[in-house]
């Protein structure tokens, strides 16, 4: 199996009639990466995948796989294999025939195919299930057959379209680990589509976060979480408390933002937002629930927030406290259970503090819908 | 379900009974006439049980030729209309949404257009094409089989299309994409993935197309030219001069239809039952166990009875010889006739005597003789010309059908029967 | 757009599909109809004179249906017009007959739980449909003929003295036509009624609605697409029937299709036959479309 084939999208546009499904996408995917496209439904992530696999032709721009332009090549001529959202196992073929379909169409003999099928069935721990029909397998088994079928085609790039979405929660977590292991073992490039940020963050080397038709940010899971480029990414990836305001001053990579109700807040300007904020601009400050603490006396006023408790929950490892936030919005604070924290009564007024390096500020913009 | 009041249930039962009498009764009556020796298809008066019409049917050249043409036309019609119907259905799933309803209206329209119109338009159109191309009047474009296939396929393809559309609605196009993605060509993906999925629809639309073609009259009557299909031959026979060979054919067709329907029902029921019991698919298609086969499957029981009855009848036909009974019947009839003639003569003599005595009262008495007597039903058809023929003892038919040694079915089952007709055809 | 089409189907499949659909729609459906339409405006000429000076567009063939031959003393072509109107009314009559006959059975089958008995009933429904049209008509000839089953039966019990001429009275024809298309009436209705939630009927009954009210307010409005689909099929097919009228029709009562047939085969007058065929087609379409409009039903419901 070849390993490490890079995929490049260059200035790629995809249109359906007048409707722009993907706008000017520029992505470089390293060879051998586990790369995820993360976004809500209808954002165009599946469209990108279908363009890479050859079911759609971009209206403009290029798709390169291993440096070769894929223009005009059909899905059957590209070194990619796609795992469909509903898996699309052939219902009338036995499991082993399903797995080796790619060999069948190349004219491989039945014996050859059977041998290869047995190897792959061993790999996915379904050794004795080859003669069954897909309808006789469980959800997780079907999943593995679909992976084996795609790998049997010996693709340079494996494309996965939300393959875990049909599984129940426990199985989904299990399959995450399994997928990641398979990827490490075969060493080829995986491109993974999901709307589940947990999947994207745990499995991927790099993540592209998509807003409607546009890629907002590309980076490692950590950078997407800690250093969002846009308000959309900040609000989409993980829980975040948001405060609107105007930039009052900027210094040393930090901005002081004047908010309507919460006073002035000091926050770090993210890498992606650097240079895009000026004094007087509308801005958004984001603070993670785990970045908020009960204020100590020494806290400076521009890293302090006053708020009333609405209600709180006990979660074992932590307490979640929900507070009345900016413009009546709910604000969440997460307190690690170290023994001294406690549940707060509704209505209690708390003073909270945060670390200015953990709060981020980006230009005001679109938010992920709740 | 709420229990219905008694009068509604009785009414329903009565209605169902009458409805199905209307539906099935004519077919049963028609089938029965196939076994009456009377030379006109009739139930009453019942003469003698006979099987002679079957061998007669199988030695009727026009019917056999018609059957052959029907099979030709049916074969090509199935191929053409199933492929056009399939293409039409596949296109329906892909065509631009704006055009879809117009397109659907066009391809569904042939079902609603009267067959006569399709027949005429096909004929005049191809005659014109033939003229424009400068071919002679007996070119292939004017061949009855060619025209019939085209005419019939025009609307039969619409039926096939409906069958395919119903099936395609459940097809996941992702399967084709998956195959393409795994390196298959479009043709491979179609042949290996979509076609097997459509196989049940192919089968049922082929059967549908064949039956529709086989029984088509309205279109074929215009397009058949020299190649009269079975249905055309039948219609001519029914319109001009009927004898019970048609009943015999009807009986065979009814039996084949019932058999086909039962087999189909038994198979679907078996699959359903097996699936309901949670059996894997593989177990359904293979293996045959008699008790299990019949369990919970009324159609299977009926099928069993049906096949049993068929074996009995054929067996009976092999040993049954209607000749003595027929002779007896003929004798009896002749006796009755003789009596009737004598009676008439007697009456006539009486009348003469009466007239001699009373004068003008002749007509009254004559009327009384004709219709009022108690033996009316057997006299009813005495005066039909063909009856007299038989009564006169014409034995012309006998050698054909009744052959005691071989049984009444004669040589129907001989394989060379069809071939015998075939060589004559080459001239056409 | 077309490139996308070839992308989803590939070249071979794409062209194959296009070709087949083109052949069907253009060569088999549209062009013959257009040519027949065109032919109906031409005079009846022997082949050598076609396209010659005597070949001009004329309404003569249509005029003939209304006014008859030139110098017709009546002024109108009474015979043909009468046949035309009688065919349409008789077809409507057969349709209504079938509707009343089939609605109860469709309702019964559609609402039953589908046991073995019902399956056998459905089978019994289907079987007559697959028997040849000619043979079905033939069966009715046996039943209704002068020495047919019914006459013999009635005369045996001395209900009547001489055979009733069912053929001349068109009883045989209506019975045969109604019989021929029963299935086409039942199945569309059955398919729709089957999908009606039984709870709706129970709910209506629970609220005290009598049975006729349940049908009027719940079942029939719901089954409307099926009813109109069935009626359309039965009407079009009986108006366009040829075999049954030829076999079962009385000597004095022609069916319009028989006129077409006569012009075509006996008369050899193709343009005139085409004109009559066009009139039949248009009349049927107009009637069906206006009835569909009246009951607000779509074309898409037909053929389900």
CATH 3.40.50.300 residue ranges of chain A are: 7-226
- Considering the domain architecture, whether residues C156 and C24 belong to the same structural domain is answered as no
In angstroms, the separation between the Cα of residue A283 and the nearest Cα of chain B is: 44
Region of C77 please: left (phi>0), alpha (psi -120 to 50) or beta: beta
Residue B357 has pLDDT above 70, yes or no: no
Contact C270 B124 (CB under 8 A): yes
Which of A74, A75, A76, A78 should we substitute to test contact with C (largest number of C Cβ atoms within 10 Å)? A74
Q: Locate all alpha helices (DSSP H) within chain A, ordered by sequence.
A: 45-53, 95-99, 101-105, 110-123, 139-152, 169-186, 197-203, 221-226, 231-236
Q: How big is the A-B interface in CB pairs under 8 Å?
A: 67
Do C21 and C139 belong to one domain?
Answer: no
Angstroms from C250 CA to nearest CA on chain A: 56
Contact between B377 and C156 (Cβ < 8 Å): yes
Cα A282 vs. chain centroid, distance in angstroms? 27
Of B183, B192, B196, the CB nearest to A153: B183
Q: Are strands A7-16 and A60-65 parallel, antiparallel or unpaired?
A: antiparallel
Looking at the fold, whether C164 and C294 belong to one and the same domain comes out as: yes
C295 and C168 in a common domain: yes
- C169 belongs to a structural domain: yes
Query: Could you please report the per-residue DSSP string of B390-407?
Result: HHTT--TTHHHH--TTT-
Assign C257 a pLDDT band (cuts: 50, 70, 90). Answer: confident
The set of chains that have 3 or more CB pairs under 8 A with A is B, C
**What is the sign, positive or negative, of the torsion defined by CA atoms of B52, B54, B60, B63?**
positive
- Partners of B35 on chain C (C-beta within 8 Å) are none
Q: How do residues A197-240 score in pLDDT, each as one tens digit?
A: 888 888 899 999 998 889 999 999 899 999 999 999 998 988 88
Question: Which of C20 and C13 is assigned the larger pLDDT?
Answer: C20
Contact across the interface for B182 and A149, Cβ inside 8 Å: yes
C29·B87 Cβ contact <8 A: no
Contact assignment for C8 to B94 by CB distance below 8 Å:
yes
Q: Which residues of C touch A (CB under 8 A)?
A: 3-4, 7, 10
Split at pLDDT 50, 70, 90, the class of A43 is: confident
Chain B residue closest to A136 (CA)? B280
Interface probe for B, chosen from A17, A49, A73, A76 (most Cβ of B below 10 Å), is A76
Closest CA to C55 of B121, B138, B128: B128
| pLDDT tens-digit series, residues B160-178 | 999 999 888 888 888 988 9
Question: Does some domain include residue C43?
Answer: no
The answer to whether B110 touches B155, Cβ cutoff 8 Å, is yes
The pLDDT, as a whole number, for residue B418 is: 38
Q: Are residues C196 and C297 in the same domain?
A: yes
> In a mutagenesis test of the B interface, which of A56, A70, A77, A82 is the best target, namely the one with the most B β-carbons within 10 Å?
A82
Q: Print the domain residue range for C117.
A: 87-301
Averaged over B71-89, what is the pLDDT? 94
Please give the pLDDT value at position C117: 77
pLDDT at B292: 52
Buried b (16+ CB within 10 A) or exposed e, B76-85: bbbebbbbbb
- Residues C21 and C135 both lie in one domain: no
Distance from CA of B94 to the nearest CA of A (A): 15
Min Cα–Cα distance to chain C from B393, Å: 23
Packing angle of the helix pair B144-168, B115-133 (nearest 10 deg): 120
Q: Kindly report which listed range (A64-68, B315-319, C265-269) carries the lowest average pLDDT score.
A: B315-319
Query: Tens digits of per-residue pLDDT, A235-280?
Result: 898 888 888 888 988 888 889 898 877 788 889 999 888 888 888 8
Q: Is residue C53 part of a domain?
A: no
Mean pLDDT of chain C: 80
Q: What is the average pLDDT across B412-428? A: 38
pLDDT of residue A342: 67
Q: Which of B22, B40, B107 sits opposite C25 (nearest CB)?
A: B107
The pLDDT, as a whole number, for residue B76 is 95
Q: How confident is the model at residue C23 (pLDDT cuts 50, 70, 90)?
A: very high
Please state which CATH class domain A231-363 belongs to: mainly beta
What would the pLDDT profile of A295-338 be if each residue is shown by its tens digit? Answer: 777 767 778 888 888 888 888 888 888 888 666 678 888 888 77
Q: Residue A74: its chain B contacts at CB < 8 A?
A: 180
Residue C80 lies in a domain: no
CATH 3.40.630.40: does it fit domain A7-226? no
Say if C163 falls within a structural domain: yes
- Distance (Å) from the alpha carbon of C261 to chain B's nearest alpha carbon: 8
The domain total for chain C is: 2
pLDDT at B152: 93
Question: Residue B415 — very low, low, confident or very high, per pLDDT cuts 50/70/90?
Answer: very low
The enclosing domain of C240 has a CATH number of 1.10.3720.10
Instruction: For chain B, give the longest Cα–Cα distance.
Output: 110
Q: Give the nearest partner residue to B197 out of A54, A74, A92, using CB atoms.
A: A92
Q: Residues A125-167: pLDDT tens digits?
A: 888 888 999 989 988 889 889 989 998 988 999 999 988 887 8
Residue C12 has pLDDT above 70, yes or no: yes
The CATH class given to the B61-319 domain equals mainly alpha
C91 and C24, same domain (yes or no): no
Do C253 and C125 reside in the same domain of the chain?
Answer: yes
């Amino acid at each position: 199996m070849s390993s490490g084939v890079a995929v490049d999208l260059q200035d790629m546009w995809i249109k359906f009639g007048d409707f722009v499904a993907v706008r000017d996408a520029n992505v470089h995917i390293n060879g051998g990466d586990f790369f995820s496209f993360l976004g809500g439904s209808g954002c165009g992530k599946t469209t990108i995948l279908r363009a890479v696999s050859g079911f759609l032709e971009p209206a403009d721009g290029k798709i390169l796989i291993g440096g070769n332009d894929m223009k005009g090549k059909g899905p059957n001529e590209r070194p990619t294999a796609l795992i469909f959202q509903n898996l699309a196992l052939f219902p009338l073929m036995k499991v082993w025939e399903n797995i080796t379909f790619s060999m069948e169409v190349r004219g491989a003999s039945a014996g050859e195919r059977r041998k290869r099928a047995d190897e792959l069935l061993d790999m996915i721990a379904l050794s004795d299930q080859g003669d069954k029909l897909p309808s006789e397998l469980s959800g997780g088994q079907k999943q593995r057959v679909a992976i084996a079928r795609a790998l049997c085609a010996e693709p340079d790039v494996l494309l996965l379209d939300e393959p875990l979405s049909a599984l129940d929660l426990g199985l989904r977590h299990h399959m995450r680990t399994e997928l990641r292991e398979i990827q490490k073992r075969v060493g080829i490039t995986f491109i993974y589509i999901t709307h589940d940020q947990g999947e994207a963050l745990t499995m991927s080397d790099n993540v592209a976060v998509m807003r409607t038709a546009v890629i907002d940010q590309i980076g490692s899971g950590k950078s997407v979480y800690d250093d969002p480029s846009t308000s959309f990414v900040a609000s989409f990836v993980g829980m975040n408390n948001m405060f609107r305001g105007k930039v009052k001053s900027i210094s040393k990579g930090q901005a002081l933002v004047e908010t309507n109700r919460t006073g002035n807040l000091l926050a770090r300007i993210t890498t992606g937002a650097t240079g895009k904020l000026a004094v007087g601009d509308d801005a958004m400050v984001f603070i993670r629930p785990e970045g908020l603490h009960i204020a100590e006396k020494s806290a400076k006023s521009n890293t302090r927030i006053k708020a009333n408790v609405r209600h709180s929950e006990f979660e074992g490892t932590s307490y979640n406290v929900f507070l009345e936030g900016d413009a009546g919005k709910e604000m969440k604070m997460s307190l690690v259970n170290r023994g001294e924290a406690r549940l707060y009564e509704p209505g209690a007024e708390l003073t909270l503090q945060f670390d200015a390096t953990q709060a981020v500020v980006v230009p005001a913009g679109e938010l992920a819908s709740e | 379900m709420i229990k219905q009041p008694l009068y509604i249930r009785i009414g329903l039962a009565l209605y169902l009974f009458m409805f199905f009498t209307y539906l099935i009764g004519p077919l049963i009556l028609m089938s029965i006439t196939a076994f009456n020796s009377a030379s006109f298809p009739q139930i009453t008066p019942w003469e003698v049980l006979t099987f002679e019409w079957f061998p007669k049917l199988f030695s009727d050249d026009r019917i056999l030729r018609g059957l052959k043409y029907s099979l030709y036309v049916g074969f090509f019609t199935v191929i053409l209309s199933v492929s056009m119907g399939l293409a039409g259905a596949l296109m329906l799933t892909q065509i631009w949404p704006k055009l879809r309803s117009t397109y659907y209206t066009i391809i569904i329209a042939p079902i609603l257009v009267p067959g006569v119109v399709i027949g005429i338009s096909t004929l005049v159109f191809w005659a014109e094409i033939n003229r424009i191309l400068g071919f002679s009047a007996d070119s292939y474009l004017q061949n009855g089989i060619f025209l019939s296939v085209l005419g019939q396929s025009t609307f039969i393809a619409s039926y096939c299309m409906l069958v395919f559309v119903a099936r395609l609605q459940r097809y996941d196009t992702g399967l084709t994409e998956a195959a393409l993605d795994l390196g298959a060509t479009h043709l491979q993906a179609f042949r290996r993935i979509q076609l097997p999925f459509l196989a049940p629809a192919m089968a049922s639309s082929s059967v549908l197309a064949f039956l529709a073609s086989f029984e088509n009259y309205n279109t074929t009557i215009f397009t058949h030219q020299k190649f009269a299909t079975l249905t055309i031959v039948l219609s001519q026979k029914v319109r001009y001069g009927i004898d019970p060979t048609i009943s015999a054919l009807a009986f065979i067709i009814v039996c084949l239809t019932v058999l086909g329907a039962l087999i189909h029902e038994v198979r679907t029921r078996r699959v359903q039952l097996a699936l309901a019991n949670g059996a894997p698919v593989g177990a359904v298609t293979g293996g045959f166990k008699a008790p299990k086969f019949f369990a919970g499957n009324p159609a299977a029981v009926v099928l069993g009875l049906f096949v049993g009855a068929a074996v009995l009848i054929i067996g009976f036909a092999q040993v049954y010889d209607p000749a003595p009974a027929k002779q007896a019947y003929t004798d009896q009839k002749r006796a009755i006739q003789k009596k009737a003639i004598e009676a008439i003569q007697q009456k006539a003599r009486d009348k003469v005597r009466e007239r001699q005595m009373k004068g003008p009262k002749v007509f009254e008495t004559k009327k009384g003789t004709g219709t009022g007597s108690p033996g009316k039903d057997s006299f009813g058809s005495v005066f039909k010309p063909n009856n007299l023929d038989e009564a006169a003892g014409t034995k012309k038919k006998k050698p054909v059908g009744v052959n005691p040694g071989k049984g009444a079915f004669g040589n129907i089952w001989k394989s060379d029967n069809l071939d015998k007709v075939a060589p004559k055809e080459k001239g056409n | 757009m077309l490139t996308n089409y070839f992308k989803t189907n590939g070249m071979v499949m794409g062209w194959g599909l296009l070709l087949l659909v083109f052949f069907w729609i253009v060569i088999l459906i549209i062009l013959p109809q257009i040519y027949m339409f065109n032919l109906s405006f031409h005079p009846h000429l022997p082949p050598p004179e076609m396209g010659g000076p005597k070949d001009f567009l004329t309404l003569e063939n249509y005029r003939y249906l209304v006014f008859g031959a030139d110098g017709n003393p009546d002024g109108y072509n009474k015979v043909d017009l009468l046949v035309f109107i009688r065919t349409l009314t008789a077809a409507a009559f057969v349709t209504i007959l079938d509707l009343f006959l089939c609605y109860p059975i469709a309702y019964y089958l559609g609402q039953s739980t589908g046991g073995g008995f019902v399956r056998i009933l459905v089978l019994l429904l289907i079987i007559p449909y697959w028997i040849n049209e000619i043979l079905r008509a033939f069966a009715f000839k046996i039943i209704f003929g002068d020495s047919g089953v019914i006459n013999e039966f009635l005369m045996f019990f001395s209900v009547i003295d001489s055979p009733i001429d069912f053929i001349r009275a068109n009883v045989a024809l209506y019975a045969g036509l109604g019989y021929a298309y029963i299935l086409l009436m039942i199945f569309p209705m059955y398919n729709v009624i089957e999908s009606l939630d039984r709870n709706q009927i129970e709910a209506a009954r629970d609220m005290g609605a009598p049975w006729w009210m349940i049908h009027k307010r719940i079942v029939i409005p719901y089954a409307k697409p099926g009813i109109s689909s069935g009626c359309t099929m039965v009407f079009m097919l009986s108006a366009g029937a040829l075999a049954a009228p030829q076999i079962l029709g009385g000597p004095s009562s022609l069916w319009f299709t028989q006129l077409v047939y006569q012009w075509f085969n006996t008369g050899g007058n193709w343009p005139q036959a085409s004109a009559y065929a066009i009139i039949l087609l248009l009349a049927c379409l107009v009637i069906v479309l206006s009835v569909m409009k009246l009951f607000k039903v779509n074309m898409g419901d037909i053929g389900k």
